[in-house]
Structure 1
Amino acid sequence: YQLSQRVQTVGAIIETKSKEASRRVESYLLQKQQRACRKEQKERAEQRRKLLWYERRAKLLKSLDGKLERAAQRSNEITNEKAIKAGEELARAKEVARKVKAARVIQEIARDVYDFKKCESVDIELSQHEAAARLQKW
């Protein structure tokens, strides 16, 4: 009788220890699974943060690239405008110089034809610039 009772007691102890070990294993596996899940969540969150950072950086670079492109385009436009204006001013200066030269030739011819002598007392000698300024006003 005592032997059977002892066998039952030992059996109950083994069963209890087995259940406790089983619970510990299940708890350990659950904790391990939760840790793995949290680690996975952290990795995904980190990837999202990195992706957002790269997207913000890409937008910033695109914005800067656009600004640089517009600035270069505007610079080219200004350069072209200045070149056109300089060309127009040069053409105008050539035209005025041609008119000044023509006016002097006409004066010389008129003096020769009408036998006018150059007035030495007044001595109006205009520079090319002054003559051009007078012609532009005339």
Structure 2
Amino acid sequence: MELDIKDIMERLPHRQPMLLVDRVLEMDPGKSIVAIKNVTYNEPFFQGHFAHHPVMPGVLIIEALAQAAALFSFADAGAPNLASTKIAYYLVGVDGARFRRPVVPGDQLRMEVSADKLSRSICKYTAVAKVDDQIAAEAKIMCAVRILEE
């Protein structure tokens, strides 16, 4: 299953500049995903990180991995739609994060995320971000699903 940016925006509540997934190349609902983020010099974070040597902040790479995880975790029929205003999906834990190479303008970040545990309230994943088949970052991430009060 592939998703373009319109499909992604129907499934995630994030919008620019915080939407960090551009396309889904492969998705096995409830199991795994391969998605991409095209990193351009126009990203707002490059203005201050760093002006003369732009590098994508590691925390945003982790955020991109969490967004990719959300896309496949809630892709089944009957699953909650995270773009709904009544559901929140929070990044609540990052373990073993390692940053192996900088991600710079012109790179295409390939995100590979697989589910370790999915439940109605807590989801755990193994995530790897690559550039040109080199690992840029990897981590175990945990996200929480919450129903928002009206």
Shared fold per TM-score greater than 0.5: no
Point out which structure has higher relative CO (alpha carbons under 8 A, 6+ apart).
2
Bigger CA radius of gyration: 1
TM-score interval (norm. to shorter) = under 0.3
| Greater percentage in strand | 2
| Greater percentage in helix | 1
- How high is the TM-score relative to the length of structure 2? 0.20
- How high is the TM-score relative to the length of structure 1? 0.22
